[in-house]
Amino acid sequence: MQPATACAFSGLTIPWLRRCSSLRVKCSTSQRAHCASTSTADTAEPTEPIGPIEPIEPDPEPFKLKPLPYPFNALEPHMSKETVEYHWERHHRGHVDSLNAIIQGTEFAEMKLENMVLTSYNEGNPLPFFVHASQVWNHDFFWETMKPGGGGNPSGVLRDLIERDFGSLDELAKEIQNAALTQFGSGWVWLAYKRHRLGVGNDINPRPSEKDKRLVVVKTPNSVSPIVWDYYPLLAIDVWEHAYYVDYEV
Ligand SMILES: [Fe+2]
């Protein structure tokens, strides 16, 4: 993230890529240089040419709730129409709306979602909107990993990696099931490829591990996505209560 820049022309502190309230344009490098060389903050007009004025750009589009890739009832009988509708329409949409409300007018509004997740995780000290950014990413991914009539035996490289790293598809299924059943509180279970490229910003344990460059089953708490540690997710199970209680409440 770029540091905030003090604008000597307008007297305002202007975060990177924010609009200057005096010029009504986005601060360009040349304009910032001009401002930095201007001695008084209350100058009404610039005293020297400042180069071409950039046109006012429209505000970034708010994030939109990604459409479901299938109808609400497409995952029955495994996941009911009511569960999918409630989960997507209420919970997923809620995180999109909350994220937009928090980042509006900040430099984060111009980031791609994945970069926002990585940045706001902030090396394990999450910024306030991380929960929403990460939950939007997680749910976008979650819906895409399922489809009507999906499943079956994997083939090719994926099958080879499963057999190498878990022994068999059955053993992988057992490990995923055990992880989901033992998840404490709300969170997620993932099948992911642990790339572990050393030096990635959020990596809290940069030491090489015997699990590097392998498929792993990993649990994450609350809204955390394993992409913050450079894992490459392949499958996700939402273990938040809202993902199943409509079908299983007693
Ligand atoms: Fe969810």
Per-residue pLDDT of the chain (250 residues; tens, 9 = 90+): 444 444 444 444 444 434 444 433 344 443 444 444 443 444 444 455 555 555 556 667 888 999 999 999 999 999 999 999 999 999 999 999 999 999 998 889 989 999 999 999 998 899 999 999 999 999 999 999 999 999 889 999 999 999 999 999 999 999 999 999 999 889 999 999 998 766 666 766 667 777 788 999 999 999 999 999 889 999 999 999 899 888 887 5
Bridge partners (DSSP) of residue 235 are: 191
Cα of 12 vs centre of ligand 1, distance in Å, is 41
Please name the residue that has the structure tokens 């409440």.
Answer: 249
Phi then psi for residue 18, to 5 deg, are: -85, 160
Amino acid, single-letter form, for residue 48: E
> With contact defined as beta carbons under 8 Å apart, do 220 and 226 qualify?
yes
Cα of 118 vs centre of ligand 1, distance in Å, is 19
CA distance 90 to 139: 12
Cα of 243 vs centre of ligand 1, distance in Å, is 5
Cα of 45 vs centre of ligand 1, distance in Å, is 52
CA 113 to chain centre: 5
Cα of 219 vs centre of ligand 1, distance in Å, is 15
User: What's the pTM?
Assistant: 0.75
Cα of 246 vs centre of ligand 1, distance in Å, is 12
Cα of 140 vs centre of ligand 1, distance in Å, is 10
> If we measure between CA atoms, which residue out of 74, 81, 92, 196 comes closest to residue 139?
92
Amino acid, single-letter form, for residue 105: G
> If we measure between CA atoms, which residue out of 37, 35, 48, 39 comes closest to residue 9?
35
